[in-house]
Amino acid sequence: MAKRNKTVITCAITGAIHTPTMSDALPYKEDDIAQQAIAAAEAGASVLHLHARNPKDGSVSIDPETFSRFLPRIKQSTDAVINISTGGSLKNTIEERIAPALRFSPEMCSMNMGSMNFSFHPLAGRYDEWKFDWEKDYVANSDTYIFRNTFADIKNAATQLAPHGIKFEHECYDVGHLYNLKFCLDIGLFKAPIFIQFIFGILGGIGPDVDNLIFMKRTADRLFGDDYRWSVLGAGGAQMPLATTASQMGGNVRVGLEDSLFISRGKLAENNAQQVTKIRRIVEDLGCEIASPDEAREMLALKGGDRVEF
């Protein structure tokens, strides 16, 4: 039997684009982000995908100063790979969105591979009470936003970030984004091996069906051959089922409160580490091993934790 790859668990600690603070478990203060990130790493996440939030009201912050209040703490307490989001909010420009990655030169950062509808407006009807004033309108109006990632934006971000040797988490929300990525790879914007995060279940992207996962994987095999590594993120209720399927297909997985506030149907997760513990148990029970941070560094060809600027 062929040797199976180890599974890299990424944990996305606190999303900002599409996750209102409607669970008390979702960290938005710097101390809580640091504490939950460290606990997720201890539970088995080898990569930590990080956004920042305004500690006063949980709104998206793309201010590098906010990141500076938790990045060094996480680095001092864990060996995990730090992956800084360049997603910002649906209202930020690409220049604003890449500012934290430019300042801190992490081992990884996200790179969203196409413009799209990215909506969570149906959530607006599900809650009567909101923790913060901005949330209801932001959520309700998300049916008017375009998540902008034009070819020019991608080229601009890739060119400015290139001197930093950062490995991108290429976020692909639909099959067309794989072709966008292929085009960008062919014109030299990115270096192999590339790391693709297949994303399922965002309203505006491809749906969370196993057929679609197989289709995305087959398409990526055809386009990138051996030049890519891959992982799966299912939004909401699709998180654990699709991560389980991906791990059985030889892929890597992403969990975290950014993408689902739940631990099981209708039950809120207590924290990020609980989701990491759950997927780790599933992966190990089904006969795979999880990758350590250094094994993730090798698999993804990262520059090393000693070459970041925080």
**Do residues 59 and 134 make contact, with C-beta atoms less than 8 angstroms apart?**
yes
Compute the half-sphere exposure of residue 141: CA atoms within 13 Å on the CB side of its CA: 9
The position carrying tokens 């148990």 is 281
CB of 305 to Zn ion, least distance (A): 20
What part of residues 82-101 is at the interface with Zn ion (CB under 5 A)?
Answer: 85, 87
Question: x/- binding map, residues 124-163, to ligand KMH, per CB under 6 A?
Answer: ----------------------------------------
Binding mask 161-180 for ligand KMH (x = CB under 6 A): ----------x---------
Preceding peptide of 27 cis, ω within 30°: no
DSSP letter for each residue of 190-248: S-SSEEEEEEE--BTB--S-HHHHHHHHHHHHHHHGGGEEEEEEE-GGGHHHHHHHHHH
DSSP of 127-195:
-S--SSHHHHHHHHGGGG-EE---HHHHHHHHHHHGGGTPEEEEEE-SHHHHHHHHHHHHTTSS-SSEE
Among the residue ranges 10-18, 153-161, 239-247, 263-271, the one whose residues contact ligand KMH (CB under 6 A):
10-18
Interactions with ligand KMH, residue window 87-126 (CB under 6 A)? 87, 110, 112
Residues with Cβ within 8 Å of 97's Cβ and at least 6 positions away in sequence, in order, are 62, 86, 87, 88, 157
Nearer to ligand KMH, 36 or 86 (CB): 86
**Interface mask toward ligand KMH for 199-238; x: CB under 6 A:** x--x--------------------------------x---
Indicate whether 259 belongs to the interface with ligand KMH (CB under 6 A).
yes
Tell me which stretch binds ligand KMH (CB under 6 A): 82-90, 134-142, 181-189, 267-275. 82-90
State the DSSP code for 2: P
Contact yes or no for 203/193 (Cβ under 8 A): no
Only one of the segments 9-17, 33-41, 100-108, 128-136 lies at the binding site for ligand KMH (rule: CB under 6 A); that segment is 9-17
Pick what 202 binds: ligand KMH, Zn ion, none; C-beta below 5 to 8 Å, kind-dependent. ligand KMH
Interface residues with ligand KMH (CB under 6 A) are: 12, 15, 17, 85-87, 110, 112, 171, 199, 202, 235, 258-259
Interface residues with Zn ion (CB under 5 A) are: 85, 87
